[in-house]
A = this chain, B = another copy of it.
Amino acid sequence: MALPKVGSIGEYIREQRTQAKISLRQLAAAAGVSNPYLSQIERGLRKPSAEILNQIAKGLRISAQALYVQAGLMEDREPDSDVLAAIRADGFITERQRQVLIDIYESFRKENRAEAPDENAQTAKNAHSAPEPRERDAGSPPNDEAPLPEEVFAGFEPDPASSVNGHVTPETREG
């Protein structure tokens, strides 16, 4: 239980790297980490910190969120349907364009599956360790097993986007 998903994240990184056709040293340089450390990360011998993960994500040109989810550091909705859902929900494109995008995306996915049949890392997203429904973002408090008093949530906005969005200094909140 100490570090079971480490291998998963390592495989995932290696897979992304090989897909990008860059060497370990190249990615290490791009990410700003040392090559031996990246090697150890990819083989699951080390558990990279978030900072390193972030750098690797940058080096791989993928979102840090993807890596965090892979590393089990973030319970995110399925990144699979993310693109498809976004495409379907988009209101700026026509039906035909929508279908084209969906086709392209799915063919990309299929293509990758064909080239790298070791796509088990793809399903590693089911590594949810928390059985709770991820309905936390809704306005209503979860209230299921909260060790916090309910009145806590009275003036407590579970909407971090408002404060996070502009990199607001925490002190400015207290008028």
Contacts and interface: CB of A to CB of B under 8 A. Distances in A.
B83 A20 contact: no
Interface string A58-88: 1111111111111101111101111101111
A1 interface: no
Contact of A22 (B21, B71, B97, B148): B148
Contacts of A86: 81-83, 85-87
Mostly, the A contact residues are helix
A160 B83 CA distance: 22
Interface residues of A, number: 99
A60 to B, nearest CB: 7
Given A32-B169, A59-B160, A91 B67 contact: yes
Contacts of A109: 92-93
Cβ-closest 10 pairs across A and B: A50-B50, A66-B160, A66-B91, A86-B86, A30-B160, A82-B86, A63-B89, A30-B161, A83-B86, A97-B108
